[in-house]
Each structure stands twice: as C-alpha cells, then as structure tokens.
Structure 1
Amino acid sequence: MAGVGTVDSMRTAFGKTFDNDPGFLNTASIGVPPRDAVEELTAAVERWRTGAKIPDYGDHGDIAKQAWARIVGVPAETVALGGSVAQLVGLVASNLPDGARVLVVKQEFTSVAFPFAAQEHRGVKVSEVDGAALASTVDGHDLVAVSVVQSVDGTIADLDALRDAAKATGARVLLDVSQAAGWLPLDLSWADFVVGANYKWLMSPKGASWLAVAPGALDSVTPHNAGWWAGEDPWTSAYGLPLRLAGTARRLDVSPSWFAAVGSAATLPWIASLDMAEVREHCVGLADSVLAGLGLPPRGSAIISLDMPGGAERLTETGVTFSQRAGRIRLAFHLYNTAEDVALVLRALRSE
C-alpha cells in the first residue's frame, strides 16, 4: 500500500493529488479525478465560454482512445469511440445473426445483458448461468458476454478458463472492463470485443466509452451509428455521399463528447503509465484488510460486498461514502484510498 499519503483533506497517490474526503469508497459508481485533470477540464470550460475550436476535442478523444487501448492491452487501431457501454454493446448485439445464442452470468450488469435481450424479436436467445459455471457452459453458444469484474459484488471472471473454452468451441467473447480497467492488470487482445466506460476507475467525466473489435470480428459489425466522425478524416467526410468510412475500428466511432474527451485525455495516459500490478496490490490490500478486520476471508478484488444488517446506517453515520447493490453494502477501494478509510469502515461495522 505504498505510494499514498494524506495531508489534511488532500491525498497524493501514484504521483497525483486528489481531494476526496476520508471514507470515499464509491469508485465502483464514480471515481475521483486527479486535481490536474480538474484544472484541465476547468480550462476547457473557459475556452468553451469564450469560443472553443471543435478540432481540439478530436485530438483529446484520440489521446484518450490510445491510452485506453494500452490499459486493456489491445491495439489502438482496433478501438472505437462511443458514448456509453450499452450503446456499444447494442452495436454488437444488433449485428448478431437471427437466432444467435448468447451466454451471460446471473446478476450481470444490465448494460451488458439488456442489449442482447432486446434482440429477442429476432430469435436471439440469452441464457444466464452462475459465474462459476461460465466456462463449462460456453459450448452451444455463439457469444459469451461478461464483465471482467462484476459490478454487484466484485467477483473476477476466470478469463483463462473462458479464453480456453471459447477457443475450443468457436464462441465469440465480449468483455466489459468498466469495473476492472484502472486497477486490474489486463491483456485482452484475445477477446473478440472489449468494452468499457471512462468514469469509475478511470476517473474521468462520464460521457465516453470504448469498444475494441478484434480484426477478425470487425467485418461482422455494420456501423449502424455511422456519422461524419466515422470517416478516416472526419473533415473530408462531413457532407454528401458516397459512404466513405475508415478502414479501422474508427468506422464505428461517434463524435466525442467534448468535456468527457478532455477529462479522459488528462487522466488515461497517466493511468496507462502506472505499474498496474502495484495498483492492484494497493487496492486489493485495502479491501482485504477490511475483510480481515471483520473476520472474513480475502477475495482478491478491489470491490467487496457485505451483508450486514444495520451496517449501511452505521457507515453513513461514520461518514463513509458507499453504494448498495442487490441489498448488500458495496465498498470499492482505489489508488487514492488509504488505511484511514479502512479504519473508518471497521469503526462503523465493528460497533455494537
């Protein structure tokens, strides 16, 4: 848990300064930005107030896209920019053949599951299975869609087993990294589709998501959202036919959300430069310290889920910021959290 210090309400972590209050353990819902990213965003708002240039936002979008590719371990040219995870997953779902069979885990985040379920009118069938049985159930399905880390409780998917099962059966795989990218080391170039949001663990203003499409899968995705930004050079594809799209995954791009692009470009390159094994050690060490303090076994995840009657009220009284999912307390530890946060949680949950 080295690399983090606390001075009054200001915290330094991995070379950046943060202003999160003690007890903020809700990164799984929304992350805290580094102070310099806030300064960049504030300056962008000021430029907007006095007359910004739209091309600037495109540069920011490309910088963020390239950094996200490094974070998840995929080639940058395979990555497309979108507005949300559900929109990008919907693009994959709408391109499935009629009657396709999709496998998801029970209690999967609905931005991953709903886009496929919405294709029922075309005969697309979505089956749910317990996470532990995912790899052994792949056979007979055309696509498996799963979060690398589950939003509801922090469970980490067995990616090695899933990769082997998909290779053996020919099933395609879609992975959502929204609860993993930013704290968990990732090397996902083997997956057919990788999708993730820019906020939460990536600590950027909501409004951008990315979809990596393996080269062998790109031809199977019709760019239903094609617009001017999907061209090789948007400034030469802004008017008139014929259709002229980029030859890479950029053909799936939508135009960037301005301030999401600025914030992402300020934060993601720094995250991409970190030793993610060190970040994981820090985050998981804090989460497992809470579990140990409560007499529970370690889980090896930055997200923990607790079933403790009355615990939510005690955490709130102690000043802990958290979320509740599926009737349980959800705590999420990121690089700006410290042992002080662990102590606050244990003070609340150990009280009689």
Structure 2
Amino acid sequence: MNVSDIRGLFPGLEDTIYLNTATMCVGCAPAREAYELAAGRWSAGRFDWMEAEQAGEHARGMFAEIIGATAADIAIVPAVSTAAGIVAANFPPARRGENIVVAENEFASNYYPWLLLRERGYDVRAVAADGDVVSAEALGRVADGGTRLIAVSAVHPVTGFRANLGAISRIAAGSGAWFFVDACQAAGAVPLDVARDGVDFLATASHKFLLGSRGMGYLYVRPGLLDRLQPIVPGWKAARLPFESFLGPDMDLSPTASKLDASLAWFPAMADEAGLAVLRRFGMGAVLERNARLALRLQNALQAAGVSFRSFPAEHRSTIISVPVSAPDEVMSRLRGANAVVSLRAGRIRLATHFYNLEEELVRVAELIAGR
C-alpha cells in the first residue's frame, strides 16, 4: 500500500494525529464529497432518493464481502442496539432453566437488550471479568444446556481484547444457543469470517473502522436462522418488492435478511458506499495487514517509551491499546496540545490505530504519554 495514496484521501489528517477511530473514524474525502453532493441536491430540491437507495444496496454487498457473507444475509440497521433488540424481541417466554450468557463488562448496546429478557423469565448470567477480560473458558463455565444465547464483543471497546470467536461458537453450539457478536471495534479493523467462526448474528455500526458515518449499520443473520426471526418494526423496505409495496393491504416480506431492514438513512448510506469503496480500492487484506503492523508498532513504541499497558498474545490483539495512567487529565492535555486525538475510557488512554495512521505518529504519541 502506498501511504501517500492513503493519506491523500484523508486531508483532515495533515496536522492531526488521530488515534480515536474506536470512537469515530476520520471522514475520507469521497465520503465527505458524497455528503456535500447530497446536501447540495437536497437544498436545491433535486435530491434523488432512488440513488441513495442504490447506494445502500452497494454498501450492503461490500459489507457482506468484508465478513465473508452474501448480501442476502445482511440487514441494514442504524446501530448494534437495534440489531440486538431485533434478536432479543424474537425470544419466546423462557422455560425453566433457560438463560442468556454475556460478559458483565460488555458495551451497553450489547448488554441492555439481553437484560430486558429477564422480563420474559430468562436468567441473564453476567460473567465477571478476570483482569478486564472475559475469556471463552469463562463463558464456557457458565453456559449449560439451558443457555439460549451467548453475546460477546469481537473486540472489547476499552481493553482491545480480541475474542476467540471460534471457541465461543463451539460453546454456544454445545448448549444449543445462538451466538451474537458485536463487531463495532472489529469490522474493518481485524479479520472476520462469520462462516469460519460459526457466528449466528453479527452486528456493527459503520462509523468506526468501516469509514462510514453515524446512522448506518449492519446485521448479519446466518442462513437457516432467518425464518426464525420476524421484523419488529417492519416498514416498506421489509417487503419482497419494496418499490412495489408502498401501500397495503397485503404484506409480503422479503425472503432475505432485508426483511429486518430499517428505513434507510439516505445521506449516511451514500457516505457508507463511498467509505467502503475506499477499503475495497486498497483491498481488505492489505488494510488488515497494515492495521496489524501499525498496532504492533504502537505497542513497541509504548514499550520503548517505558509506558505500561496490558499486552495480549497475538491471537487476542486488535487495533486498540488501553493505557492506564495516574494523571489522565494531565496526559490528555499534553496530547491535545500536540493535536493528538485519543479518548479516555475508564481512566485509561484508549489508542486506536487504523490504516491511515503513520508510524512516526505512533512514536510521538508514546513519547507524549510518557511525558517526553
């Protein structure tokens, strides 16, 4: 990959060190242009919503490629909480002993929808973290024959711990449970393969490593499970032939995962199409390889600067590194003064690399955290 070609698509990074993609990506030039074009046409009364709908279909297909699925397996939803809510709402009242297994330190969007299942009689088993990590083994010790769903983050949003999805999938299969994955910090950042890892449902928002903007997200449904789900708030996009189904009285739902679609957010859909096209242009394999190299470079830079942090084995490493500091406000002030954008989570400096970062930026941030 030619670094100058990458940086040329992110002109906003010229004077900024951006290690905050785990919160929101930097908008690439093509996505910004898509927004500006849409806003210009909208303000002139010339916005073409059919073009936006087509952009959404292109985005659906490109996302499917990234996770090893097909477009027919993907629903377009606004957020992970929406996706989890759809799945949770399809659970019937619990029978004796039926339970849900989830880590107690899960992000709320992959936690609250499952907690609500207590009202239907499910025992929601929140697995305690061991040193900030909930391992596959810990989940396996809690799951049993009554477990009906195991929910995890592919990459934890604070620690950066990358879960062993294949191992957790085998635990879920042994219990006869569904396996739900929050991939917000993984899609576009680390390799994902829903077929290889036996994932039943995978959800993500697009405004992080997928180079999209807030308002677009995706839900993967494993083939064979779609018939067991009903849409919760079906709109016209849930129809088999949406453009012929604006009016009643009949309801003929799509045979694909699009029956779970929310109405499309048109501007974000056009930006998503442009952002995902950037990833496709460079090749997802090359992007992921660069991501892994940059994450390792950041880890090495922190070690060289004498900064302590939790280091994971290669198979559990992601693009996120969380650094505990004794004076977070002071460290954040130094970083802001150097135009370095990071986030503070649970009293730790959270650093998130993406393929648009430069190696020299990582060294500089490590020095700033160390107080040099």
Query: TM-score with structure 2 length normalisation?
Result: 0.87
2:18 counterpart of 1:24:
yes
Q: Matches of residues 168-317 of structure 1 in structure 2 within 5 Å?
A: 168-189=174-195, 190-272=198-280, 274-295=282-303, 298-299=311-312, 300-310=317-327, 311-317=331-337
Structure 2: distance between partners of 1:78 and 1:301? 26
Of 289-298 and 208-217, the range deviating more from structure 2: 289-298
Q: Over residues 58-79 of structure 1, what are the superposed CA-to-partner deviations in whole Å (9 max), with x where a residue is unaligned?
A: 1011011111111111121011
Return the alpha-carbon distance in structure 2 between the equivalents of residues 216 and 203 of structure 1: 30
SS of match in other structure, 1:128 = strand
User: 2:347, 2:25 → 1: CA distance?
Assistant: 22
Contact residue 92 and residue 221 of structure 1 kept, 8 A: yes
1:46 corresponding residue in structure 2: 40
> For 1:202, what is the secondary structure of its paired residue?
coil
Deviation at 1:163?
A: 2.1
Identity fraction in percent: 34
Alpha-carbon shift at residue 334 of structure 1 (Å): 0.5
Q: Whole-Å Cα distance in 1 between the matches of residues 99 and 281 of structure 2? A: 39
Q: Which amino acid aligns with 2:42?
A: W
Instruction: Give the match's secondary structure for 2:179.
Output: strand
CA RMSD of aligned residues (A): 2.0
Partner AA of 1:137 in structure 2: V
SS for the counterpart of 1:255 is coil
Q: Secondary structure at the match of 1:304?
A: strand
SS in 1 for 2:17: coil
Aligned-partner residue type, residue 184 of structure 1 = V
Does residue 1:97 correspond to 2:92, yes or no?
yes
Equivalent position of 2:152 in the other structure: 146
CA distance in 1, matches of 2:170, 2:234: 34
Partner of 1:8: none
Indicate the SS of the match to 1:134. helix
Q: Is the 8 A contact 1:27 1:201 kept in 2?
A: yes
Q: Distance in 2 between matches of 1:63 and 1:42?
A: 19
Match of 2:368 in 1: 348
- Kindly provide the amino acid, as one letter, of the partner of residue 49 in structure 2: I
| Structure 1, 22-31 or 274-283: larger mean CA deviation | 274-283
Displaced runs of 4 or more, over 6 A: none
Specify the alignment match of 1:9 in structure 2.
Answer: none
8 A contact 2:10–2:26 mirrored in 1: no
Q: Is the Cα contact below 8 Å between 2:216 and 2:265 reproduced in 1?
A: yes
Give distance in 1, aligned partners of 2:10 and 2:336.
Answer: 25
Q: Which runs of 5+ in 1 are unaligned?
A: 6-11
Q: Structure 1 residue 58 and structure 2 residue 63: aligned?
A: no
Q: What's 2:123 paired with?
A: 125
2: CA distance, partners of 1:337 / 1:17: 10
Classify 1:146/1:254 alpha carbon distance in 2 versus 1 (closer, same or farther; 3 Å).
same
Amino acid aligned to 1:134: L
Amino acid at match of 2:118: E
The alpha-carbon deviation at position 17 of structure 1 amounts to 4.2
CA distance in 2, matches of 1:272, 1:149: 22
Deviation by residue 1:226-249 (Cα, 9 ceiling, x = unmatched): 111111221211111221111111
Name the counterpart of 2:172.
Answer: 166
CA distance in 2, matches of 1:233, 1:273: 31
Range 128-137 or range 73-82, more displaced: 128-137
2: CA distance between counterparts of 1:293 and 1:83? 37
The whole-number CA distance in structure 2 between the counterparts of 1:15 and 1:277 is 20
Kindly state the Cα deviation for residue 279 of structure 1 after the two structures are TM-superposed: 2.4
> 8 Å contact 1:136–1:165 — kept in the other structure?
no
Aligned-residue offset at 1:338: 0.6
Alpha-carbon distance between aligned partners in 2 of 1:117 and 1:298, rounded to the nearest angstrom: 31
Structure 2: runs of 5+ lacking an equivalent: none
- Residue 274 of structure 1 and its aligned partner are, at CA, apart by 4.3
Q: 8 Å contact 2:302–2:363 — kept in the other structure?
A: no
SS of match in other structure, 2:109: helix
Deviates more, 1:147-156 or 1:263-272: 263-272
